[in-house]
Structure 1
Amino acid sequence: MGEMTRKAGDATDRAESSDWLDHAVRAGLVAYGVVHLMIAWIALQLALGDQSGSASSTGALQQLTDEPFGELAIWLIAIGMLLLVVWRVLEAVGGHRGEEGKDLWLKRASSVLKGVIYAVIGWSAVQVATGSGSKGGSDDTTATVMNMSGGQFMVGLAGVLVIAYGVGQIVRAWTEKFREHLTAEGKSGEAGTAYIWFGKAGYAAKGVAIGIVGGLFLYAAYTHQAKKSGGLDQALHKVLQQPYGPVMLGVIAVGIGCYGLFCFARARHLSR
């Protein structure tokens, strides 16, 4: 068993250090950036009064189908997300070798979580491309969980975890920890300064939006009303309903767009 574990670790090391994985990650990050730019565009339209689109990854993909070569683009996004899932699986299985103890397991758990996020977007892309997407919303899933034994607690816990993740994104923006994802060249000069600002705005905006999603889940658990929960689209609509909502939503939309641009910068100056 020890020999098999060692061989598996060696295989993972070879895969993680290979050029093909670099190319795969770059392609995936470009696809991820496109999705965020589309979400940002829909959110900006929402802030300006057009509520015809859904400001979510699925909504962004659906809007992309109306563009020339839209279906091809969606399939490329699905492939890009799959490549990112492969990368995160390799990280979760044998990556982060420089870490030990609790830090190692936290890093690997983070890789799993990111892999799940990429997988969800990728599966949404496949559903949109094949026309098999479900019409049910996130509140349907929440209602199913809520009706389980201990479901109210699980929905509340999910809300806490989502808020924690959102706060983590804001902390990354404040501390500029995301700089580790760029090579030295990607952090230098005027271009590097722009990339850093894209990252700061992008991570902060994503953190705020994700935190609101978590808050919706907490409120749904507290009131025992699944329809009070929601995904990114519902969260941005909540922002719109607040005083100066269109302005705040516009700022978040620009921030999400900046995250998309940072994904492009990261793809060009990749540091894994």
Structure 2
Amino acid sequence: MTTTPKRAARDVSQSRVFRTLARSGYAVNGLLHILIGGIAIGIGVAGGSGGEADQSGALRQVAQTPGGLIVLWLAVVGLFALGLWQVVTVVLVSNPDAKKKWGKRAVEAGKGAVYFVLGGTALVFALGGSTNSSDSSQSFSAQALATPGGVFLVIAVGLAVFGFGVGFVFIGAQKRFRKLITVPPGAAGRTVVGLGMAGYIAQGVAMAVVGVLFVVAAVTVDPEKASGLDGALKALADLPFGIAILIAVGIGFIAYGLFLFARARLARL
């Protein structure tokens, strides 16, 4: 019997080991968000200055702690496993409406790409290297703005990221994330849902600001404006009541991290 890609994906998805590794990816991602939230709060307390409030900054913190190398390698395995799970999900997407099916596949593929990028960043630190997400964002913007039509590309990226941010806020406010997990009954369920709401909204706000900064970088032809998540969170500190907003977003990131820990157990895989 010929093995089709969908059959192979279905067989892989039923592996208990694979599911466990994929779930560990959520826990790793949760740890990173808790660390980012802590850094953001520290920046707020320091009046807008401090460490890197992004995945690179969080991984750098992990690398500098005792036993951090072990945690980094666990992060590599978990994040890559979660990325592969998304690839399997892309293959298994089924919908009689072709447009909806390919739309869903695009969303799942995008999630997989994010996890692979995070896994690759963790691998760099695990191997003793280092990277800076802000520099990467600025480098991309600089290269794009130096090419014909690059301004429109950067604007398109900014608008797309802004749209994703708005989508995250909507998902959090409408509690749409509940379909991703098996919500436990009683107080535990209310706690998980509350963490999800706060986390998704905080994530959305941060992503929306990142998108705005990309658009500003394009309009002003200044790639340094596109400084990624770290720059977006620090930009919040410059707003009226910005320190309070930044600290609130940092708390939201911690809430999202705790939600991801819960999702590691409750995810509908």
Decide: shared fold, TM above 0.5.
yes
Unaligned runs of 5+ in 1: none
Cα deviation, residue 132, structure 1? 2.6
1:54 to 52, 55, 75: 52
Cα deviation, residue 137, structure 1? 4.0
Match of 1:160 in 2: 159
Change (3 A) 1:110 1:90: same
1:132 to 129, 132, 151: 129
Match of 1:83 in 2: 81
| Alignment partners' CA distance in 1, 2:92 and 2:218 | 36
CA deviations on 1:201-222 (whole Å, 9 max, x unpaired) are: 0000000000000000011111
| Alignment partners' CA distance in 2, 1:128 and 1:88 | 23
Unaligned runs of 5+ in 2: none
Q: Which amino acid aligns with 1:31?
A: V
CA deviations on 1:5-52 (whole Å, 9 max, x unpaired) are: x71111112222332332122111111111111111111111110733
Given that 1:146 and 1:224 are in contact with CA atoms closer than 8 Å, whether structure 2 keeps it comes out as yes
Given that 2:172 and 2:197 are in contact with CA atoms closer than 8 Å, whether structure 1 keeps it comes out as yes
| Alignment partners' CA distance in 1, 2:79 and 2:139 | 25
Sequence identity (%)? 33
Match of 1:96 in 2: 93
1:71 to 69, 72, 77: 69
Q: Which amino acid aligns with 1:172?
A: I
| Alignment partners' CA distance in 1, 2:69 and 2:9 | 34
CA deviations on 1:39-70 (whole Å, 9 max, x unpaired) are: 11111111110733100000110011221211
Q: Which amino acid aligns with 2:27?
A: V
TM-score, length-scaled by structure 1: 0.93
Change (3 A) 1:99 1:88: farther
| Alignment partners' CA distance in 2, 1:234 and 1:142 | 14
TM-score, length-scaled by structure 2: 0.94
Q: Which amino acid aligns with 1:235?
A: A
Alignment of 1:139-154 (within 5 A): 139-154=138-153
2:117 to 108, 111, 120: 120
Cα deviation, residue 99, structure 1? 5.8
Given that 1:187 and 1:196 are in contact with CA atoms closer than 8 Å, whether structure 2 keeps it comes out as no
Question: Over aligned residues, Cα RMSD in angstroms?
Answer: 1.6
1:222 to 210, 219, 223: 219
SS of equivalent to 1:187: coil
User: Stretches of 4+ moved more than 4 A in 1?
Assistant: none
Cα deviation, residue 72, structure 1? 1.3
Match of 1:111 in 2: 108
Match of 1:171 in 2: 170
CA deviations on 1:229-268 (whole Å, 9 max, x unpaired) are: 1100000010011111111001000101111111111111
Q: How many positions carry a matched residue from both structures?
A: 266
Cα deviation, residue 115, structure 1? 1.1
